[in-house]
Amino acid sequence: MGDADNLEIIVDRDECIGDGACVSDAPETFEMDDEDKAIVKSPVSDDKETILEAARNCPVDAIIIKDKATGEQLYPED
Ligand code: F3S
């Protein structure tokens, strides 16, 4: 159990352009599917900060991270 267990991780497939930065940054969380879009692995095993960094590095902000417990959106910030 890592500290990422409290995160809800979503890839917006309409936004994803297949950049792949998320897979490089957090390879235990994201992988590319056969349409060259990122999907979230199950289970994820990167830590929270690694996953947030991957979300920040997505050039089109296709990755949305929420705190499962509070529902607060951690990224993108408003
Ligand atoms: Fe897609 Fe962004 Fe990852 S464009 S492949 S979600 S870095």
Per DSSP, the three-state class of 22 is helix
Q: State the Cα–Cα distance between residues 3 and 16, nearest whole angstrom.
A: 25
In the chain the domains, ranked by start, together with CATH numbers, are 3-67 (3.30.70.20)
The minimum-distance atom of ligand 1 relative to the CA of 15 is 4
Q: Note the pTM of the prediction, 2 decimals.
A: 0.94
Contacts of 28 (CB under 8 A, 6+ apart): 41, 44, 45, 46
Residue in 14, 23, 36, 58 to alter for ligand 1 test, most ligand atoms within 8 A of Cβ: 58
In short, whether 16's Cβ falls inside 6 Å of ligand 1 is yes
Number of residues assigned to the chain: 78
pLDDT in tens, 18-62: 999 999 999 999 999 999 999 999 999 999 999 999 999 999 999
Q: What is the per-residue pLDDT for 1? A: 47
Q: State the Cα–Cα distance between residues 78 and 72, nearest whole angstrom.
A: 11
Count Cβ neighbours within 10 Å for each residue of 63-76 and write b for 16 or more, e otherwise.
bbbbeeeeeeebbe
